A and B are shown apart, each in its own frame.
Chain A
Amino acid sequence: MTSFSSGERHRLRQGLAFLSPWIVGFLTFLLIPVGLSFYFSFCDYSLLQPPAFIGLANYRELMTDPVFWQSLRNTLTYAAMALPAGLMVSLGLALLLNQKVAGQSIFRTVVFLPSLVPTVASAMLWLWLFNTKLGLINTMLETPPFAALIRGLNAVLGVLHLPGVQPPIGWLTDPAFALPALAFMSVWGVGQTVVIYLAGLQDVPKELLEASELDGANAGQRLWNVTLPMLSPVIFFNLIMAIIGSLQEFSGPYIMTGGGPARATYFFTMYLYDNAFTYLKMGYASAMAWIQLLLILALTAIAFRTSKHWVHYQTK
């Protein structure tokens, strides 16, 4: 403390002055609520009665609650499917949308559209697309080219002694398909990610690409050796956002499946929400929230660890 020079103290005062709005907001609108929720996680709390301290009981109960583990497993499985799919599709889209073609701004707007349509509306549409009997997807799978494809797939599965696929597929009614179906659907909401990738692509120096082309690199090599490394910080940013987002997935699946069939799509946040507002166990829900927060922090930390090896900063 004594080592503070007057210049340092001056800078500290100035820095804090600029930060003051955030500090005030952080204390009032985040720290107090978060602190309260941390305290509640050690309490029996229904919102209506004052919280009563019960120590680690909520956490202990969670450890032996099969639904907690199932929702956690579902969420992680979903994230393992939705996250890479979303990141790759959005990157591919961004690369396409970066090409100078007629109607570029219309295409960009259209890709962003699904993120603007209210969740109820898009959920309704997907319910139909996935419908076992009348849905567009199953109708398509019954056309000859797809039927042949499925026969081929079944032949391969048969050799591997795995059960074959038999359309019509119960996308949302068969526990084996419900989670992949929702992950597939999530790819649609990549609009915001695409916009951020697009922005990143504007920053890839044209000179580097031109130089690479002069060296005889083809489009694929330019993408792999120049564009992707230059884009890696943006990919990293989107990865972090996707981790946060996919572990908190909630409203679409909540409207569409309500967590069913037989809890096959019951996500962590759904159980949290149900505990808080349907079962009135705010303490239990708070404990879940803290576990979720720690999980997100842990995954983000791992991502930061690995980032050294693949994220290249243009200037350092």
Chain B
Amino acid sequence: MRIVRGLILTALAGIGLYLLAFARNAGPEDARGRVVVTYWEKWTGNEAEQMQEIVRDFNDTVGKDKGIYVRYLSMSNITQKTLVSTAAGVPPDVAGLWDAQVPQFAAIDAVEPLDELATEYGITPDLYKPVYWKGCTYEGKLYGLISTPAAAALHYNKSLFLERADRLRAAGLDPNRPPRTLDELDRYSEALDVTETDAVGKKRIRAAGHLPLEPGQWMPHMPYWFGGSVYDEKTGRLTLTRPEVVRTYDWVRSYSVRLGKDAMTDFTSGFGQFNSTQNAFLSGAVAMEQEGPWMANFIEDLKPSMNRRKFPKEQEKGMSPEERRENYEWGAAPFPSAVPGLDDVTFAAFDVLMIPKGAKHKKEAFEFIAYVNRQDVMEKLTSLHCKNSPLHRVSAGYLRNHPNPYIDVFERLAASPNAHGVPPVPIWPEVSDELTVTTQKIYLLQATPEDALADAQKRLQAKLDAFRARQRLRKGGAQ
């Protein structure tokens, strides 16, 4: 035993010493005297590889001509790391963050304003779909440019509609099209629900038409579909107690009441993670969901059969998007609004490239950001990521060859006057977290929407006021 022990320990030590002595970093890529721009990005996996392809393209063309080399680094906890390194004076030159960080970082001077550089490069607001350009600005200044955007739309399972066609027809609904008003969505949903009572007399849900909280990441923006918003830009105040917002949460509550909150939590606990075949939409547990255009890519990866309803993939070549749609078990359409006449409502989310304060190569960094925002490059990137384009102009080939056959739906939604982004609230992450909790309280029937929203409004408005007062004090003190 002792000998074995000694042998194993020696072997471990030997391996350790060997590695200490001989393991080497392959060394950073050959930048040949070019200016190295460090670029931190949140993506890993496929999305990271696709972005790296764009980086390679840049390094081989524009970068080569202008003596710039972009070094892509996948970074976990990127918001935190960007922040800490910026504070310590060693930030990356380009940081790939989320839309919510634009107002948040801009308000505390964590990022460089980009207006002058944008003008110099001929990048103007009219090149973009308004909602995205607006999302990149804060208090009239530009702080970032898009890397990839998205628009939220209703995804519905055509096969399930047909499977339960009798029930839909019995409710006076057409199984061959998606709902067009929110009221209709509720009726479709009820007709598509499959519930049963088990031996002990407890209600169990087998399948659902729609659940407001599945997947639920856009819940804080849901009031847009009710003609309201949680923030009033004119007064700069949060508006959580406005009737439209209360109505939104009444709607959420109505699902808990109708389906039973216990039956509902029990049912949703059986869903797998987003990126698995047990995803509620992919497994058929939920027939209608709100999702972004990337869903086509996820389905292709995880459950390709849903993208091959009639014929093999190869046959899609040369077909128009309309013809291709026949081959998909699912469809995408605008998520219906609760207000008659309010059409094409969407929440427009995006990933953003920003230059942290104190970055060493500001100009070179912008060269890369501008490259990503070129029409051809942007179309390549968003096709790879399976997202829509943030740019006003899109080429015909883009719409035709995009991996998502419904891309025109997303394009239309993103360009719509009823497309809204993250409200320009400097404390948005805090607002968003509080709204998530408020939603849970309402959904678990712990509080009425009125009470829960009033509490949230009081707490958040106080935080927002305090934040503003301190920023004013700070600016006043500096002058």
Contact = CB atoms under 8 A, between A and B. Distances in A.
Contacts of B459: 65-67
B270 interface: yes
Interface string A245-272: 0000000000000001111000000000
Interface residues of B, number: 38
B265 interface: yes
A22 interface: no
B88 to A, nearest CB: 9
A46 B79 CA distance: 13
B3 interface: no
Contacts of A133: 266-267, 269-270
Interface string B243-275: 000000000000000000010011111100000
Contacts of B455: 66
A213 interface: no
B444 A48 contact: no
Interface in A171-198: 173-175
B46 interface: no
A47 B430 contact: no
A48 B270 CA distance: 43
B379 to A, nearest CB: 34
B444 A175 contact: yes
B197 interface: no
B437 A263 contact: yes
A52 interface: yes
Contact of A52 (B104, B262, B474): B474
Interface string B463-476: 00010001001100
A173 B357 CA distance: 42
| Chain B interface, DSSP helix/strand/loop, else mixed | helix
B440 interface: yes
A65 B437 CA distance: 15
Given A274-B433, A277-B83, A279-B427, A48 B110 contact: yes
B111 to A, nearest CB: 9
Interface in B49-86: 79-80, 83-84, 86
Interface string A110-133: 000000000000000000000111
Contacts of B105: 48
A84 B108 CA distance: 45
A233 interface: no
A280 B104 contact: yes
Contacts of B266: 132-133, 168, 170
Contact of B269 (A61, A173, A263): A173
A279 B105 CA distance: 10
A49 B474 contact: yes
Interface in A137-188: 166, 168, 170, 173-175
B110 A278 contact: no
Contacts of B436: 260
A294 interface: no
Contact of B265 (A46, A132, A166, A278): A132
A277 B110 CA distance: 13
B108 A52 contact: no
Given A173-B265, A260-B437, A279 B108 contact: no
Contact of A49 (B84, B104, B109, B437): B109
A278 to B, nearest CB: 5
A299 interface: no
Nearest to A172: B269
A67 to B, nearest CB: 8
Contacts of B427: 279
Contact of B108 (A48, A66, A166, A277): A48
B194 interface: no
Contacts of B430: 278-279
Contact of B444 (A47, A57, A262): A262
A134 interface: yes
B24 interface: no
Contacts of A166: 200, 202
27 contacts: A44-B474, A46-B110, A47-B83, A48-B87, A48-B109, A48-B357, A49-B474, A52-B470, A52-B474, A52-B477, A54-B470, A57-B466, A61-B466, A131-B270, A132-B266, A132-B270, A133-B266, A133-B269, A134-B269, A170-B269, A173-B268, A175-B446, A260-B436, A263-B437, A274-B433, A277-B79, A278-B429
Given A47-B83, A48-B110, A174-B265, 6 more contacts: A48-B87, A49-B474, A133-B267, A133-B270, A170-B262, A278-B430
Interface of A: 44, 46-49, 52, 54, 57, 61, 65-67, 131-134, 166, 168, 170, 173-175, 260-263, 274, 277-280
